[in-house]
Copies of this chain bind each other. A is one copy, B any other.
Amino acid sequence: MGKVHEATVSAPVNIAVIKYWGKRDSALILPTNSSLSVTLSQDHLSTRTTIRASPDFPADRLWLNGVEEDISASKRLVNSITTARKLREALEEKQRKDGIPAESVVPLSKWSIHVCSENNFPTAAGLASSASGYAALVSALGALYDLPQSTSELSRVARVGSGSACRSMFGGFVAWQAGVADDGNDSLAVQVANRQHWPELQALILVASDRKKAISSTAGMQTTVETSSLFAERVRTVVPQRMEAMKTAIANRDFENFAEITMRDSNQFHAVCLDTYPPISYMNDTSRAIVGLIHAFNAARGRIAAAYTYDAGPNAVIYALKDDMRDLVELFTFCFPREESMLADAFYPDPFGVFALPEEAGQRLTDPAVARLADTAGKYPAGSVRRIIHTEVGDGPRILPASQSLLSDVGMPKRARE
């Protein structure tokens, strides 16, 4: 057996504070407006992907969480892989032109690949994994193929897989510039600030139970573009202003402005969904209750101390500074009691020890003002929030050592589900 050509990477989830919704080109995934996100820590949420290229593989194959998927069934997967292969092909071409002997140029672009990908968070968490998934895929291809392109350039390849995946190519605070070019050349991610820029910023993910099946965001957003009479105004006027204001807020570590813009933009995204025909609604009564709690919490604090944001589902992501997080965790565990059937680790990690003992969880309310607020709000039905994840701003994709590979010696998944 010759040299193994393989790369293993992990890539993070990102949560937008200025929302992406609407494409100007569906094939290339070119958005109608720029967006901006915070990359979350891979300690709690990430996708790990191993890719191996081998002249012995008869075809490209892919396993997601242990289950083999048909690559050719996904145009987006094919697009991403094909685009990365072309970049590799160009590199091999250049190596040959540069006088490197043909036998030293490894023809990786000609070989089939095996892709094995796993999320470290359960699908049951209700969190979209396409952003971290495509960022991991493209980062692994970049590493495997030794591509010379910058991360921003590679983010274009992630973009053709899943729009918001381009933002998961960086850590910290990331803008996806909509761009204007027809070929999407200028539609890519850039880092606005790195992870170390604002270490106090933390996030809480509240996974809400929902009776309804989610509407595909791909289908939903194009219906919005076609039918909402308010959407054009958002794209033309509102988002450009907010992008600038948000960058300034981040640069200044100005939490109140960061939070207000985040909440307003989440609300407006859901407003244009509702203005779609037929209307799209992702938020449910639990989501609406969390919105109310956050505004009440901010009123109790006398400042904007927390922000909510919702993507294409009922789950809330709460941004707050470290010093306010304990009270928020206590408030949520009080108002959203666990259901008995829920796993002991449904709420994790638990730096404050608030989740630790089910019989005590939700009984401690350290701050008297928060206790009064919790008392007024009351308790929601047990299990309305079925998971809480306490996390923080994280770094971009990481290249992992070969020991972390998901593939066996022969290039098959180490773990596979029947």
The answer to whether A253 has its CB under 8 Å from any CB of chain B is no
Asked if A272 is at the interface of the complex by the 8 Å CB criterion, the answer is yes
Look across to chain B and name the residue whose beta carbon is closest to the beta carbon of A279: B267
Binary contact readout A267-286 vs B (1 if CB under 8 angstroms, 0 otherwise): 11011101111110101110
Q: Which of B238, B270, B271, B285 is the one whose CB lies under 8 Å from A285?
A: B285
- Least Cβ–Cβ distance between A44 and chain B, in angstroms: 28
| A271 / chain B contacts, CB cutoff of 8 Å | 230, 271-272, 274-275
Say yes or no: A270 contacts B264, CB within 8 Å: no
Contacts beyond the supplied A229-B238, A230-B233, A284-B288: 5 A-B pairs with Cβ under 8 Å: A212-B288, A230-B234, A263-B277, A281-B291, A284-B285
From residue A236, how far is it (CB to closest CB) to chain B in Å? 10
| CB of A210, distance to nearest CB on chain B (Å) | 9
CB atoms of B277 and A264 under 8 A apart: yes
Question: Which of B212, B268, B283 is close to A275, meaning CB atoms less than 8 Å apart?
Answer: B268
Separation in Å of the A309 CB from the closest CB of chain B?
A: 12
Mask for A222-244, Cβ within 8 A of B = 1, else 0? 00000001100110011000000
Q: Which of B233, B276, B279, B291 interacts with A279 by CB under 8 Å?
A: B291
Q: Which residue of B lies closest to A294 (CB)?
A: B278
Residues of B within 8 Å of A234, CB to CB, are: 229-230
Q: How long is the Cα–Cα vector from A279 to B237 in the complex, in angstroms?
A: 20
Q: Which residues of A contact B (CB under 8 A)?
A: 211-212, 229-230, 233-234, 237-238, 260, 263-264, 267-268, 270-272, 274-279, 281, 283-285, 288, 291-292, 295
Are the C-beta atoms of B267 and A277 separated by less than 8 Å?
A: yes
Pair A295/B278 contact, Cβ less than 8 Å: yes
Give A230 to B238 CA distance when docked, in angstroms: 8
A233 to B233, CA, bound (A): 7
Residues of B within 8 Å of A238, CB to CB, are 229-230
**Contact, CB under 8 Å: B291 / A277:** no
Cα A273 to Cα B276 in complex, Å, equals: 15
Taken together as a complex, chains A and B put the C-alpha atoms of A174 and B279 apart, in Å, by 26
* Shortest CB distance A243–B (Å): 14
State in angstroms the CA–CA spacing of A268 and B277 once bound together: 10
Neighbouring B residues of A264 by C-beta, 8 Å: 277
Task: List B contacts of A285 (CB < 8 A).
Answer: 211, 284-285
How far in angstroms is the closest Cβ of chain B from A235?
A: 11
Name which of A264, A270, A274, A295 has the most chain B CB atoms within 10 A of its CB.
Answer: A274
Indicate if the CB atoms of A274 and B267 lie closer than 8 Å: yes
Q: A229 with B279: in contact, given A284-B288, A285-B285, A288-B284 (CB under 8 Å)?
A: no
Query: B267 touching A275 by the CB < 8 A rule?
Result: yes
Contacts of A284 in B (CB 8 A): 285, 288
Identify the 10 closest CB pairs spanning chains A and B, nearest first.
Answer: A271-B275, A271-B271, A271-B274, A233-B233, A230-B230, A267-B279, A285-B285, A278-B295, A229-B238, A268-B275
Q: Kindly state the separation between the CA atoms of A284 and B267 in the bound complex, as whole angstroms.
A: 16
Nearest B residue to A238 by beta-carbon distance?
B229
The chain B residue with its CB closest to the CB of A299 is B278
Q: Inside 8 A of A229's CB, which chain B residues have their CB? A: 233-234, 237-238, 268
CB distance from A221 to the nearest CB of B (A): 15
A132–chain B nearest beta-carbon distance, Å: 28
The 26 sampled A-B contact pairs (Cβ below 8 Å) are A211-B285, A212-B288, A229-B233, A229-B237, A229-B238, A230-B230, A230-B233, A230-B268, A230-B275, A233-B233, A263-B277, A267-B274, A267-B275, A267-B276, A267-B277, A268-B275, A270-B274, A271-B271, A271-B275, A274-B274, A279-B291, A281-B283, A281-B288, A281-B291, A284-B285, A284-B288
Residue from A212, A264, A279 having most chain B Cβ neighbours under 10 A = A279
A284, A285, A292 — which one has the most chain B CB atoms within 10 A of its CB? A285
A275 proximity list for chain B (CB < 8 A): 230, 267-268, 271
